[in-house]
Structure 1
Amino acid sequence: MKAARFHGRKDIRVEDVPEPGVRPGTVKIDVAWSGICGTDLHEYLEGPIFVPHPGHPHPLTGEEPPVTLGHEFSGTVSEIGEGVEGFSVGDAVVVEPFFVCGRCAPCRAGNYNVCVDMGFIGLAGGGGGLAEKVVVDARWVHAVGDVPLDQAALIEPLSVAHHAVARSGAQAGDVAVVGGAGPIGLLVAAVLKGLGVTTVLVELTRARKEKALSTGVADHVLDPSRDDVKARVLELTGGVGADTAFECAGVDPVLDLCLDVVKPVSVVVNVSIWGHPATVDMTKLVNKEIDLRGIIGYRRDHPETIELVRSGRIDLAPFITGRIALDDLVEQGFTTLVEHKDTAVKIIVHP
């Protein structure tokens, strides 16, 4: 079968690999659609990050490059391993793409997303969604019912957004600033809007500003190249400042802006994956008693996230701006998102 394999920085190849076999406790999935994530872009440009380094196999998968990419994916169940209940062949599903040890203190406390040896399917090994088929442990598989499979590929990043909003403590009536209107930033805004939070999206690129407005996830869209963002947020909040802010770009100016726009004794959530150490103005953080919180992935967020989509409270269709074949992954996928991000928001791949 065909699979997109990470060999090294700026070296991703679509290759023929053996089809994985189903094992006891696992489910085989025919992949329908797989999203290209910002994390995949970081790996392509700056990796390996979550991908194991050559010569240092991941402790849970035992794999090192080349590994198959793709952790945002949907598909249909094609085979069920021994001992698995609750699924039938043909079920539409998504995957919570984790490898965890189950033994460390975070795992025992239920915080499996911060397992000391945590890895992601599609980054740490174990196959991935940028392939025709994948086999995963049944515990990570979630049925999506009648959600269209192209939209279902976005449930994984929507779960990231759901987890970020939960970590923020945002409530109806709050004002939140979202720094960066890439796929994750737009989805964070969508979850916030669903809670009744006033959303202020900060973004430079035309396509993403337009998407924020056309999808209705943003009450206000500010361009830092033209707007005095801090002054506008103070104006919108009666001089108080935002209740919370979300860093969704992975660049220092956006993190600094988040610290500027929130009110004292508030929360800033870092959602993005950074390709370099961040610079934090600790004076701003200390003087305003800001809580700076990180997130990685999600933790028991998928069921509620799926219900947000199934119930129609969040429509994922407008966020998809491109559909490509696996053979076109680098040229029409990665290159477009790196060099022409002003024309694209979310590109999904059909293996």
Structure 2
Amino acid sequence: MATMKSVRTGPVGEIEVVDVERPVPGPKDALLRIRACGICGTDTFFLHLGGTPMGPGGSMVPLPLGHEPAGEIVETGAEVTGLKVGDRVVVNPQGVPSGIIGCGGAHGAMSEYLLIENAEPGTNLGVFPNTVPFDVAALNEPMAVARHCVNRSGAGPTDKVVVFGAGPIGLGATIWLKLRGVQHVVVADVLPERLETALAVGADAVVNSATDDLTAVLTDLHGRAANALGQPRPGTDIYIDAAGAPAVFQATVDNARWGAKLVMVAVQKKSDAIDLGGMLRSELTLIASQGYPTEIFEVTPELVEHHERFAKLISHRVPFADVEHAFGLALTPGAAEKIVVTFDGQDTLDGRV
């Protein structure tokens, strides 16, 4: 029996690297050798839980981790069409019958190999060229999340936008906004190094919301407007919450002009109150953005075309041999921005891991 190493949740706040049976593809399946896999906030959420409550009586059971992979096909079933051994691919983790990969399903992509059931290009696999390193290709899934957020915003060329949170989703949204031709994009965060990255990927301006007067900065950059009562407000058209902190929601309500929009893409932290009166005074439209209903492979060609720009989102490349260190960084607030775990033989944009 061939085995492979795979990462799953362990005791609360820890991972386990275990030896499991290497999957054998059926006639409709494909087997991938994973070459890179990103670590997401969802992974750390499961680690804080210590697994998933799927055991008897709701008891916690270990959960295979990893849903941001890029790899190469090493075996295909006899009935698979449109895919071949050697293809470099990204994955739709929601596109297999055994459950969402790395998020409660039977398989996790933080493994040496990954089985894709009912393998089909454009449904659960997307092929990309060898001009793109695997570590950058592994950004495909989170960049689809960011793209859906921008799509939900309806942002157009004349809009003025502020993105709260310069993590991978916020920065990805910034890139998509600028590629979409949006006139002016401001990124707000409290960490100077994140703001430097925001400028590097194309933000027109940044604001440190821990030290700067957000209202004054936005008014200076986006001009003066008013809410429905005529009270002065910055001329910002769209607010994107990629941070999830209650302070972001309140800052948006406090600054929203008449007819502004707020798009929530971050997992929201509990808040004691929402200022509905403030929303009313601005006729603020609240838009929720969840996942990527259609965007998972729509983003792939542009990720390929602009891969050097997207590569700037990766703060740490950690080899699989040090995967416990990688998750330790992910669990430490402020220690890393975007971590991609690389596997043996994986090429990266700059040759470093």
- In 2, Cα distance between equivalents of 1:78 and 1:200: 43
What residue in structure 2 maps to residue 186 of structure 1? 171
Q: Kindly state the Cα deviation for residue 298 of structure 1 after the two structures are TM-superposed.
A: 0.2
Q: In the alignment, is residue 26 of structure 1 matched against residue 26 of structure 2?
A: no
Q: In the alignment, is residue 155 of structure 1 matched against residue 151 of structure 2?
A: no
| Correspondence list, 1:128-207, <5 A | 128-137=108-117, 138=119, 139-146=123-130, 147-197=132-182, 198-207=184-193
| Correspondence list, 1:6-25, <5 A | 6-25=9-28
Q: In the alignment, is residue 76 of structure 1 matched against residue 79 of structure 2?
A: no
Change (3 A) 1:132 1:159: same
- In 1, Cα distance between equivalents of 2:70 and 2:333: 26
> Which stretches in structure 2 are left out of the alignment for 5+ residues?
226-234, 344-353
Change (3 A) 1:39 1:280: farther
Q: Kindly state the Cα deviation for residue 185 of structure 1 after the two structures are TM-superposed.
A: 0.7
- In 1, Cα distance between equivalents of 2:267 and 2:342: 25
SS of the residue 2:89 aligns to: strand
- In 2, Cα distance between equivalents of 1:157 and 1:278: 29
What residue in structure 2 maps to residue 104 of structure 1? none
Q: Kindly state the Cα deviation for residue 326 of structure 1 after the two structures are TM-superposed.
A: 2.6
Q: Kindly state the Cα deviation for residue 76 of structure 1 after the two structures are TM-superposed.
A: 0.3
Could you list the per-position Cα deviations for residues 84-109 of structure 1 after superposition, in whole angstroms to 9, with x for gaps in the alignment?
211010101001110588xxxxxxxx
Alpha-carbon RMSD across the aligned residues, in angstroms, is 2.4
Q: Kindly state the Cα deviation for residue 14 of structure 1 after the two structures are TM-superposed.
A: 1.1
Q: In the alignment, is residue 88 of structure 1 matched against residue 88 of structure 2?
A: no
| Correspondence list, 1:45-124, <5 A | 45-46=48-49, 51-55=52-56, 65-98=61-94, 120-124=100-104
Change (3 A) 1:22 1:182: same
- In 2, Cα distance between equivalents of 1:251 and 1:36: 21
Change (3 A) 1:224 1:30: same
AA partner of residue 62 (structure 2): P
Runs of 4+ displaced beyond 4 Å? 275-279
Q: In the alignment, is residue 231 of structure 1 matched against residue 216 of structure 2?
A: yes
Change (3 A) 1:43 1:344: same
- In 2, Cα distance between equivalents of 1:56 and 1:157: 33
SS of the residue 2:43 aligns to: helix
AA partner of residue 25 (structure 1): K
What residue in structure 1 maps to residue 303 of structure 2? 309
Could you list the per-position Cα deviations for residues 196-239 of structure 1 after superposition, in whole angstroms to 9, with x for gaps in the alignment?
22111011112211211223x21111011111112211222211
SS of the residue 2:326 aligns to: helix
Equivalent pair of 1:34/1:72 in contact (CA under 8 Å): yes
Equivalent pair of 1:177/1:258 in contact (CA under 8 Å): no
Equivalent pair of 2:38/2:341 in contact (CA under 8 Å): yes
Percentage identity across aligned positions? 33
What residue in structure 1 maps to residue 230 of structure 2? none
TM-score (norm 1): 0.85
Q: Kindly state the Cα deviation for residue 8 of structure 1 after the two structures are TM-superposed.
A: 5.0
What residue in structure 1 maps to residue 229 of structure 2? none
> Which stretches in structure 1 are left out of the alignment for 5+ residues?
58-62, 102-117
- In 2, Cα distance between equivalents of 1:259 and 1:28: 49
Equivalent pair of 2:207/2:214 in contact (CA under 8 Å): yes
Q: Kindly state the Cα deviation for residue 64 of structure 1 after the two structures are TM-superposed.
A: 7.0
How many positions carry a matched residue from both structures? 325
Could you list the per-position Cα deviations for residues 288-335 of structure 1 after superposition, in whole angstroms to 9, with x for gaps in the alignment?
2222121221022133311112223872211112111234233x3233
Equivalent pair of 1:46/1:275 in contact (CA under 8 Å): no
Q: Kindly state the Cα deviation for residue 279 of structure 1 after the two structures are TM-superposed.
A: 4.4
Equivalent pair of 1:72/1:129 in contact (CA under 8 Å): yes
What residue in structure 2 maps to residue 348 of structure 1? 340
